[in-house]
């Protein structure tokens, strides 16, 4: 019965549910979700799993992610693959033994390029101790519910923007659970099925997921050296009449480009002229010690509606889960209503830490930038020596290199790389129309010894691909 239910890929997708929400690399989250299905008995011994290609298509992930996930499940002894008969749930007994195998991490074996993140900045531990020694008692005497945000943090964000040239009142600030939550709230406010969102192309895969989940049609606009191309943005605004434009002016993910001051002014003008709300996501702001121009919001005039998003994740720690959005009071108030409905407000303890750290952001950023610059230089030297045909532009900031592979589809390379212990995210996942398929994003957030091992693996995989072509491909990847 169950075998019939899950033997087609659609049923497995249903069974996996919302598998992307856990932490960690994508392939491991997928492997974890399948492992849970096996443990729960929903996927019985002998059950044939969908082909890598079918599952990748249905989950809108790269095939390399599914290859790596199946690899991981094989490593845990949960599935077996036999050439010609696909991948099946193995016949091993379940229960406590299976569970122990299922949670074994495989971090030592696979290097995932799905996330460009670092451990917490040391200042976080300091702030934690100071908080415990200082205002914690007062804080805990308070009711603890602050749906729009802990007042000292709202004030700190307002000061932060005012100092950056974007005068801000604390009422214009809504604190959220990471920048990610802002995207969800904004999608609820502005998007309906069939409405259009304009994004840069390439863009950030997770934002494409949020907009698509809201039923929106996503339209890409290319970038040049100064950021999103103004002529193409104007054309998209005129032709598509979008409900929203989502841009990353301050260290665009994945290219690391910084939008020029002139381009910011132009984007704000276009927002006013075409009446298109702009969501500027500056989550990477501060990752490089390069003072960026004021946010696009600083150039908004007349009826321009610009929402400015920030986060503690890249400069301090992703685990802090503190982000914010700054915009016209009427809009942040409407977003606050969705926020209340979602979670009644973000953790006040985390916000109290963020409020202590925000005024120190320049100092924290400068220290991070020194480390990141050294890693970037190390990565560049490794690539030049071991992968001399790969090309990239030096990023203005951010945490990754946007690499062009010569005459090679990155999805095909990703399959080979997965077999050499690297989870590659192909460029096509960053593009709403699936282009940029000969690009990949290469984070330089890893320690130098990991970077050395990473490039060694990539170079071996690349040499393999040049010599033999894709290992398992018998037909072109679509």
Ligand X SMILES: Cc1ncc(COP(=O)(O)O)c(C=O)c1O
The contact set with ligand X (CB under 6 A) reads 178-180, 204, 248, 253, 281, 283, 311, 313, 318, 323
For the CB of residue 207, give the shortest distance to ligand X in the complex, in Å.
7
State which residue, 282 or 428, has the beta carbon closest to ligand X.
282
For the CB of residue 472, give the shortest distance to ligand X in the complex, in Å.
30
Q: DSSP secondary structure string, 337-377?
A: HHHHHHHSS--HHHHHHHHHHGGGHHHHHHHHHHHHHHHHH
State which residue, 168 or 285, has the beta carbon closest to ligand X.
285
For the CB of residue 204, give the shortest distance to ligand X in the complex, in Å.
5
State which residue, 52 or 280, has the beta carbon closest to ligand X.
280
* Token pair belonging to 284: 């990477």
For the CB of residue 313, give the shortest distance to ligand X in the complex, in Å.
3
State which residue, 86 or 318, has the beta carbon closest to ligand X.
318
User: Which residue in the shown chain puts its C-beta closest to ligand X?
Assistant: 178
For the CB of residue 137, give the shortest distance to ligand X in the complex, in Å.
29
CA dihedral 207, 209, 215, 221 (to 10 degrees): 50
Burial profile 392-423: b = 16 or more Cβ within 10 angstroms, e = fewer: beebbbbbbbbbbbeebbbbbbbbbbbbbbbb
CA distances from 13 to 34, 139, 384 (A): 10, 44, 41
d(CA 211, CA 187): 6
For the CB of residue 344, give the shortest distance to ligand X in the complex, in Å.
18
* Token pair belonging to 331: 């809009």
State which residue, 172 or 430, has the beta carbon closest to ligand X.
430
Q: Cite the beta strand spans of 91-184 per DSSP E.
A: 111-112, 173-176
State which residue, 115 or 139, has the beta carbon closest to ligand X.
115
Sign of the four-CA dihedral 292, 296, 301, 307? negative
Q: Cite the beta strand spans of 85-169 per DSSP E.
A: 86-89, 111-112
Q: Any residues with CB less than 8 A from the CB of 463 and at least 6 apart, and which?
A: none
State which residue, 179 or 458, has the beta carbon closest to ligand X.
179
For the CB of residue 429, give the shortest distance to ligand X in the complex, in Å.
13
Longest CA span, the chain: 67
Do residues 287 and 315 make contact, with C-beta atoms less than 8 angstroms apart? Answer: yes
State which residue, 48 or 360, has the beta carbon closest to ligand X.
360
For the CB of residue 282, give the shortest distance to ligand X in the complex, in Å.
8
């Amino acid at each position: 019965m169950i075998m019939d239910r899950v033997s087609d890929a659609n049923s497995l997708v249903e069974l996996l549910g919302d598998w992307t929400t856990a932490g960690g690399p994508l392939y491991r989250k997928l492997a974890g979700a399948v492992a849970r299905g096996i443990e729960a008995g929903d996927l019985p011994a002998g059950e044939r799993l969908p082909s890598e290609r079918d599952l990748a298509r249905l989950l809108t992930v790269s095939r390399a992610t599914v290859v790596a996930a199946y690899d991981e499940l094989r490593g845990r002894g949960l599935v077996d693959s036999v050439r010609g008969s696909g991948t099946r749930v193995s016949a091993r007994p379940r229960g406590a033994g299976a569970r122990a195998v299922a949670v074994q991490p495989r971090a030592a074996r696979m290097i995932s390029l799905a996330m460009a993140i670092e451990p917490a900045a040391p200042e976080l531990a300091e702030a934690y101790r100071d908080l415990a020694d200082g205002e914690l008692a007062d804080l805990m005497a308070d009711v603890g519910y602050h749906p729009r945000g802990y007042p000292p943090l709202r004030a700190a964000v307002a000061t932060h923007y005012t100092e950056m040239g974007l005068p801000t009142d604390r009422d214009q600030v809504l604190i959220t659970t990471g920048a990610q939550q802002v995207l969800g709230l904004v999608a609820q406010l502005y998007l309906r099925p069939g409405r259009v969102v304009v994004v840069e192309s390439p863009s950030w895969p997770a934002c494409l997921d949020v907009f698509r989940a809201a039923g929106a049609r996503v339209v890409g606009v290319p970038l040049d050296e100064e950021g999103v191309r103004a002529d193409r943005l104007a054309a998209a605004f005129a032709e598509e009449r979008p409900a929203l434009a989502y841009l990353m002016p301050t260290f665009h993910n994945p290219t690391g480009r910084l939008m020029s001051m002139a381009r910011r002014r132009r984007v704000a003008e276009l927002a006013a002229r075409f009446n298109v709300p702009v969501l500027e996501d500056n989550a990477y702001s501060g990752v490089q010690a390069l003072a960026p121009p004021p946010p696009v919001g600083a150039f908004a005039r007349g009826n321009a509606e610009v929402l400015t998003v920030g986060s503690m994740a890249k400069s301090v720690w992703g685990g802090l889960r503190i982000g914010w959005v700054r915009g016209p009071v009427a809009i942040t108030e409407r977003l606050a209503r969705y926020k209340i409905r979602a979670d009644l407000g973000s953790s006040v303890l985390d916000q109290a830490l963020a409020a202590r750290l925000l005024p120190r952001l320049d100092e924290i950023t400068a220290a991070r930038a020194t480390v990141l610059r050294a890693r970037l230089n190390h990565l560049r030297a490794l690539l030049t020596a071991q992968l001399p045909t790969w090309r990239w532009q030096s990023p203005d900031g951010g945490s990754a290199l946007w690499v062009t592979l010569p005459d090679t589809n990155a999805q095909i390379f990703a399959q080979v790389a997965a077999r050499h212990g690297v989870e590659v995210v192909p460029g096509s996942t960053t593009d709403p129309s699936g282009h940029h398929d000969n690009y990949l994003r290469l984070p330089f957030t890893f320690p130098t010894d990991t970077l050395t091992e990473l490039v060694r693996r990539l170079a071996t995989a690349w040499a393999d691909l040049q010599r033999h072509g894709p290992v398992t491909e018998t037909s072109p990847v679509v």
